[in-house]
Amino acid sequence: MTLPVNAFKRALAEGRQQIGLWNSIPGSLTAELLAGCGFDWIVIDTEHALTDIPDTLAMMQAMAAYPVSAVVRPASNDAVLIKRVLDLGAQTLMIPYVQTEAEARAAVAAMRYAPRGIRGVAGLTRASRFGQVADYAQRAEDELCLIVQVETASALDEIEAIAAVDGVHGIFIGPADLAASMGYPGQAAHPEVVAAIELAIKRIVAAGKPAGILTLSPDFAVTCMGWGTRFTAVGMDLSLLAQAARGLARQFTP
């Protein structure tokens, strides 16, 4: 067997816009439904969701039949968590709350086998098709993609240093935590936050790395794409469900 191609990584390298969605409801059924909806990438979120390792496996398996890239967000920048989701076959990881160049380097090291990193070696993993990809250990890195999140005002100061780290393939801005760090919790649309996001996107692009963001505002998504984002998440399953349910209820209640 050959190593599966990481379509998301290829698209970013080629500069093609990738439209994404957040999957925070655990379970394979929702994951499979979302996988067939036409998005380029879907985040399986284990940071702010009940989703855990067994759920992640089932959700990736459910998505595998569809032309969509699963992006797994571990709960933290932890080498053990990263190792586990990589062994399950995740090819693209989004690491939350990366504050410094050193933390970005730690995430890269967790993605790579020795001597270039610290990822533990196991022979019979789903990632290697249970040992049937003969050169997996030598070639795994070719198809792995690492996205790091900058989510605070202090992290924005480190954009150029983080972008320069070999093995970081994209930088994602977290608007909610950024707003809180700037003194505007719950106000991601505050003009000062929006100005910081615009500058951050442009600095990421100038540093030669793809920029990404999540926003539930279609208008702001288009604005961010105009500023230069190349992987843009435009919705979340819970939000879509809540909006549709509330809208339906309003049609039938006084």
pLDDT tens for 155-195 read: 999 999 999 999 999 999 999 999 999 999 999 999 999 99
pLDDT at 254: 80
- Which amino acid, 227? W
Report, as an integer, the average pLDDT of 204-229: 98
Question: What pLDDT shows up at residue 65?
Answer: 96
Quote the pTM value: 0.96
Q: In this predicted structure, what is the pLDDT of residue 173?
A: 98
**DSSP letters along 131-186, please?**
TTSTTHHHHGGGG-EEEEEE-SHHHHTTHHHHHTSTT--EEEE-HHHHHHHTT-TT
Q: Check the CA dihedral 146-152-156-160 and report its sign.
A: negative
Of the chain, the percentage scoring pLDDT greater than 90 comes to 98
Confidence of residue 1 (pLDDT cuts 50, 70, 90): confident
Q: What is the pLDDT of residues 25-59, one digit of tens each?
A: 999 999 999 999 999 999 999 999 999 999 999 99
Distances (CA, A) of 251 to 1, 66, 73, 190, 248: 54, 34, 37, 32, 5
48 among known catalytic residues: yes
Return all residues near 195 (Cβ < 8 A) that are at least 6 apart.
Answer: none
Q: What integer best gives the mean pLDDT of the chain?
A: 97
User: pLDDT tens digits for 102-156?
Assistant: 999 999 999 999 999 999 999 899 999 999 998 999 999 999 999 999 999 999 9
pLDDT digits (tens, 9 = 90+) for 73-114: 999 999 999 999 999 999 999 999 999 999 999 999 999 999
Catalytic residue among 4, 10, 38, 48: 48
Strands 92-95 and 229-236, by their bridges, are unpaired
What tokens appear for 88 in the block?
A: 């399950």
